[in-house]
Amino acid sequence: MYRHSSRTSVTFFGAYDKRTMSNQPAGVEPLLETFGYMGGFQYTYRLSDHTTFGALYTYLALQYLGNVPVGSAPRTVTHSPILSLAWKATPSVSLQMFGGPQYLPSHQLVTEQSATSGPASSKAPALWSWAAGGSLARTTEKTTFQLTGGRAVSDGGGLLTTVTSTYATASVGHRLIRRWDASLTATGSKNATLDYGFGTGKISSLTASAGLNHPLTEQLDARISYTFTRQYSTGVVPYGSDLNFNSSLVSLTISYQLKKISLGR
């Protein structure tokens, strides 16, 4: 991040992600392995003590390996110029909003799968979409309540290829005794594959989690949490059209935050 003044800053970022699926059951549709590249930059300008304007550009490239479903693209690229506005209405209430177009250039599309000749493809046209969302937070001395929601083109997580993801989250955090923090979170989401006339696959999920967090040192934190997830599907998805399951996860996380390094002013 480069800070030009007390009002303006520019942040450059990049990431690489590889998802490999192992121990998949035989005789069923395999999950998709994914390679992803992301990069971009963000410009922020503080309009006043309570309002901040931002401009973000993100480049996202996703490559899928495996039995890509008919009507899906083995590789997609998404350009996303997004504008944002953050407003601190009162010392305890803050609001953030963002929105902008998303452009997917033309790419190859799987139009047929054959056991002898492999997949057949055709050129899919360029596609326009949009991203938008926001969050509302209220903070008191010991409690924080937050509502967030949004919509954007993103990765399908191994079950689907590139999707339009819509989500909403409500969370509350409360400070307990002796530097212990408790949190409760509920999230609903729906992922739908891009529609090129071959039908779409949709996966909906409901997630609830509870956790306890405790700082061990100034830079070291420990967190224990329980998460329950219910997922169900419709349309064209792996394992048929009746994907429906519940899962529970208990996790212990140890996180360490490095000291900040200034790159310039």
Distances in Å between the Cα of 80 and the Cα atoms of 37, 55, 129, 183 are: 14, 11, 9, 32
Please state the rounded mean pLDDT for residues 4-24: 83
Which pLDDT score is estimated for 213?
93
Phi, psi of 16 (to 5 degrees): -130, 135
Reply yes or no on whether the pLDDT at 152 is more than 90: yes
CATH for 2-23+33-256 (2.10.260, 2.30.30, 2.60.120, 2.40.128): 2.40.128
Please state the rounded mean pLDDT for residues 13-41: 81
Which pLDDT score is estimated for 3?
58
The pTM of the full predicted model, rounded to 2 decimals, is 0.78
Q: How far is the C-alpha of 146 from the C-alpha of 111, rounded, in Å? A: 43
| pLDDT tens, residue by residue, 88-142 | 989 899 999 999 999 999 888 887 765 555 566 678 788 899 999 999 999 998 9
Please state the rounded mean pLDDT for residues 210-218: 90
Domain residues of the chain, as ranges? 2-23+33-256
| pLDDT tens, residue by residue, 158-180 | 778 889 999 999 999 999 988 89
The residue that leads in pLDDT, 46 or 107, is 46
Q: How far is the C-alpha of 248 from the C-alpha of 209, rounded, in Å? A: 10
Q: How far is the C-alpha of 161 from the C-alpha of 15, rounded, in Å? A: 19
